Amino acid sequence: MTDLSANEQELPANSSRPKLVVSGAGDHLALAGALEIATLADARNSLKSWSKRGPSRSLDVAELDQLDTPGALFLCALRALGVELTGVRAGHQSLLDLICGLDLKPLPKAESAPRWRHFVIQLGKGCHDARHDLVEIITFVGRTASGTISALIHPDCLRPAAISRHIAETGIQALPIIGVMAVMIAIVIGYQGVAQLHPYGGEDLTINLVAVSVLREMGVLITAILVAGRSGSAFTAEIGVMQTREEIDALKVMGIAPMQVLVVPRLIALVITLPLLALFADVMGLIGGGAISLLLLDVSPTQYLTRLPHVASGGDLFVGLFKAPIFAFFIAVIGCMHGLRVSGSAESVGRETTQAVVKSIFVVLALDALFSVLFERLGI
């Protein structure tokens, strides 16, 4: 409003809220009632235009009953604009002196670094974090291997109930998704093989392509990736929630090693289940190859089964199953390690779970590439 009449204005009208009354006219106004955070917006709107007038302005606050810190900040801002505050009570004066004496200047804006410097900083931070994660994984692998060997040497330390439960959760319950994915991957490989080999008259070699790909690479690789996303994340989330609830600290207080209770059973269970799941994926993948051969090549199931031993050997099956327990070991280690790294918040659980899945899949792919080169050099 541009001017205030001599009639008193009561702000706000709602009786359930504190009341602020603005009275007066011209350059001399008065406040009565409560000037606090609940009435501050109304006071600011009422005095917005008035506070921009000439220097001979005064504001009587003698009838002001309540004044809090936001209200004092508002009055200090009016004083800085040249408004004279009159009738200030002793209790309000001490608060105004305190608030007005503060240095309320905004912090200087930080100088922005050039883009190339940000890139160098992020690159250095990434290298440092990668080195730290590598050292931590190697250390945890050593601790896990030591704890597992100790548990195998002393069978009394094993927990059969926990191992069987984790076998059921990571193995039996994963069979449907593993089977469906293996069949789908085999169908995709077979279909693309027929499409690419048909112009050269070699579509019969699709059976060779599907059988060798599934047994050597795709069966165990798809299984490991699914297990990393399904079971590895579950390991991190379960242990992470226990960390947030301080259950792991309680185990340490009771003299129980978390490595023996939480890590070793999960590791043993996954090392047992992943090769079996890989074998199941191989079987389902070959079934998918048989289905695509029947549909696209008119190869009967009998002919397909008769040809399989000639196109795929036991060495192909051995290569796939040999990699499975190694993949399982690293998936379990990374999942449990990140679960123990949870700092105590829900955000930390989500962050560590994401990192565990990403690292597990990366390690699986890196190891698979190394094994491919190794077996190729060995002629297997």
pLDDT tens-place string over residues 117-175:
888 888 899 899 888 888 888 888 888 888 888 888 888 778 888 899 999 999 899 99
pLDDT-based confidence at residue 328 (cuts at 50, 70, 90): very high
| Helix ranges restricted to H, the chain | 40-46, 69-80, 90-100, 115-153, 160-170, 175-197, 206-213, 219-227, 233-244, 247-253, 258, 264-296, 301-311, 314-340, 346-378
pLDDT-based confidence at residue 228 (cuts at 50, 70, 90): very high
pLDDT in tens, 74-100: 888 888 777 778 888 888 888 888 888
pLDDT in tens, 167-208: 999 989 999 999 999 999 999 988 888 888 888 877 788 888
Q: DSSP states of 15-47 as a string?
A: TTS--EEEEEETTEEEEEEEESTTTHHHHHHHT
2 pLDDT above the threshold of 60: no
Cα angle 40, 45, 46; round to 5 = 100
223 pLDDT above the threshold of 90: yes
What is the rounded average pLDDT of the residues 300-308? 87
Closest CA to 242 of 270, 269, 228, 262: 262
As a whole number of angstroms, the distance between CA 52 and CA 71 comes to 19
For the stretch 193-201, contacts whose Cβ atoms lie closer than 8 Å and that sit 24 or more positions apart, written own/partner, are 194/292, 194/296, 194/297
| CB atoms closer than 10 angstroms to residue 29 | 20
pLDDT-based confidence at residue 51 (cuts at 50, 70, 90): low
Share of the chain above pLDDT 70, in %: 93
pLDDT in tens, 12-47: 445 556 777 777 777 778 888 888 888 888 888 877
- Which amino acid makes up residue 102? L
What is the CB-side half-sphere exposure of residue 121 using CA atoms within 13 A?
A: 6
pLDDT of residue 69: 85
pLDDT of residue 234: 92
Tokens matching residue 373 = 């080169």
pLDDT of residue 260: 85
Tokens matching residue 219 = 């069966």
- Give the rounded distance of the alpha carbon of 43 from its chain centre: 45
> Which is more confident, 358 or 1?
358
As a whole number of angstroms, the distance between CA 152 and CA 47 comes to 80
pLDDT of residue 13: 46
What is the rounded average pLDDT of the residues 53-70? 78
- Strands 9-11 and 20-25, by their bridges, are antiparallel
Q: How far, in Å, are 34, 124, 145, 271, 336 from residue 134 at the CA level?
A: 62, 15, 16, 22, 15
Cα angle 356, 261, 234; round to 5 = 30
pLDDT of residue 226: 93
As a whole number of angstroms, the distance between CA 133 and CA 131 comes to 5
Domains of the chain: residue spans and CATH: 9-100 (3.30.750.24), 132-378 (no CATH)
As a whole number of angstroms, the distance between CA 108 and CA 99 comes to 21
